Amino acid sequence: MLPFVLFLVITVVGTWGELCLGRAMKETGELERLHPGHAASLLWRALRVKWIWIGVAMMAIAFFSLLLLLSFESVSFVVPVTAVSYLVGAIGGIFFLGERVSPQRWLGILLVCIGVALVVIAKR
Amino acid sequence: MFPAQCQVSSLVYHGLRRTFQALIARMHSRSHLKTYFLIAVMVIAGPIGNLLLAKGMKQIGEVHYWPPSELLPVFIRIFSSLTIWIGIASLIAFVVSFMLALSVADYSYVQPAAALGYFVIAVLGVLVLHEKVSPLHWAGIVVICLGVSFIRGTDPRTTESTN
């Protein structure tokens, strides 16, 4: 039971943490040009958006859950974790950030999932 | 209206329309260029940062956490290593470009596109660490690249900026 809960926490909470960063950046504004000063001021403004800190906290929870899971499970679970996070990311993008994921993008995301799973399996 | 006038106004209309379309296309390609640049920085800086941190920690050698008085010299050794500092700088570059990329493009575009990092990791493994990369590993990388090429064909941003 505990490994399953930790698996859920790592994939869902970890990916959702990144989605919160995405939300914070969307609320802050857009990088209009590739200029270091402009980028720095955008990031500085982003630090004042609550979603950044919620995202960082969620990513930290996911990281420590990963360490905990690694202490009693083998690394084989890394395959589903890394592959599933792309699907969780796309679903979160749609429902949390209001993004439109076209069939072509879905196909690309599925291929990335399969490719990443192959790479992780090959490395074992 | 005289036919000649009609022709001139039609020419002006089409000319203006073409210029406007070209301008829009240019703006779009520029905005895409910005997204591509930021994703490229993520894809290169992330793996390099991890590689340098791993290399730096291996140079430090085995770390003893007990007694606590052992920690201070270890700490000094870690933070006086140039490799580790360059690794930290690379990872900061990764996080910064990730956040900036999220300001110009969708999360569902940036996250899978960043999987191109697996290609960079494999190339670094072959060139720097002289590791062998198995055919299955290369097959996975080819599938990732194929997936990213599909994603690249979609509009990077499907939402409006809220401000």
Over residues A55-103, the pLDDT tens digits come to: 999 999 999 998 888 887 776 677 778 889 999 999 999 999 999 999 9
* Digit-coded pLDDT (tens) for A27-67: 999 998 888 999 999 999 999 999 999 999 999 999 999 88
Q: What is the pLDDT of residues A13-25, one digit of tens each?
A: 999 999 999 999 9
Q: Which tokens sit at B57?
A: 């920690």
Contact B144 A111 (CB under 8 A): yes
- Output the pLDDT for position B42: 96
pLDDT digits (tens, 9 = 90+) for B11-57: 777 877 876 676 666 555 566 889 999 999 999 999 999 899 888 88
Tell me the chain B residues in contact with residue A105 when contact means C-beta distances shorter than 8 Å. 108-109, 150-151, 154
Is B102 in Cβ contact with A25 (below 8 Å)?
yes
The alpha carbon of residue A121 is apart from the nearest alpha carbon of chain B, in Å, by 8
CB contact under 8 A, A93 and B143: no
Chain B: closest CA distance from residue A58 (Å): 16
Residue B105 identity (one-letter amino acid): A
Nearest Cβ partner for A30 among B104, B109, B110: B104
The CA distance from A119 to B4, in Å, is 66
Q: What is the 3-state secondary structure (H, E, C) of chain A?
A: CHHHHHHHHHHHHHHHHHHHHHHHHHHHCCCCCCCHHHHHHHHHHHCCCHHHHHHHHHHHHHHHHHHHHHHHCCHHHHHHHHHHHHHHHHHHHHHCCCCCCCHHHHHHHHHHHHHHHHHHHHHC
Whole-model pTM: value is 0.83
- Contact at CB, A22 and B102, closer than 8 angstroms: yes
Mean pLDDT across B127-146: 93
Q: Report the pLDDT value the prediction gives residue A104, as an integer from 0 to 100.
A: 96
CB neighbourhood size of A2 (10 A):
10
Whether the per-residue pLDDT at B73 is higher than 70: the answer is yes
- B161: chain A residues, CB-CB within 8 Å: 26, 29-30
> Searching chain B, which residue's CA lies closest to the CA of residue A105?
B151
Pick from B75, B72, B62, B52: nearest CA to B121: B52
Chain B residues in contact with A42 by the CB 8 A cut-off are 100, 103
Contact B143 A118 (CB under 8 A): yes
Whether residue A116 and residue B140 make contact (CB cut-off 8 A), yes or no, is yes
Lowest mean pLDDT among A46-50, B123-127, B140-144: B123-127
B29 touching A, CB under 8 A? no
Domain boundaries, chain B: 32-152
Q: Which residue has the higher pLDDT, A121 or B69?
A: A121
DSSP label of B68: G
pLDDT higher than threshold 70 for residue B163: no
Maximum CA pair distance of chain A? 49
Q: Does residue B59 have a pLDDT over 90?
A: no
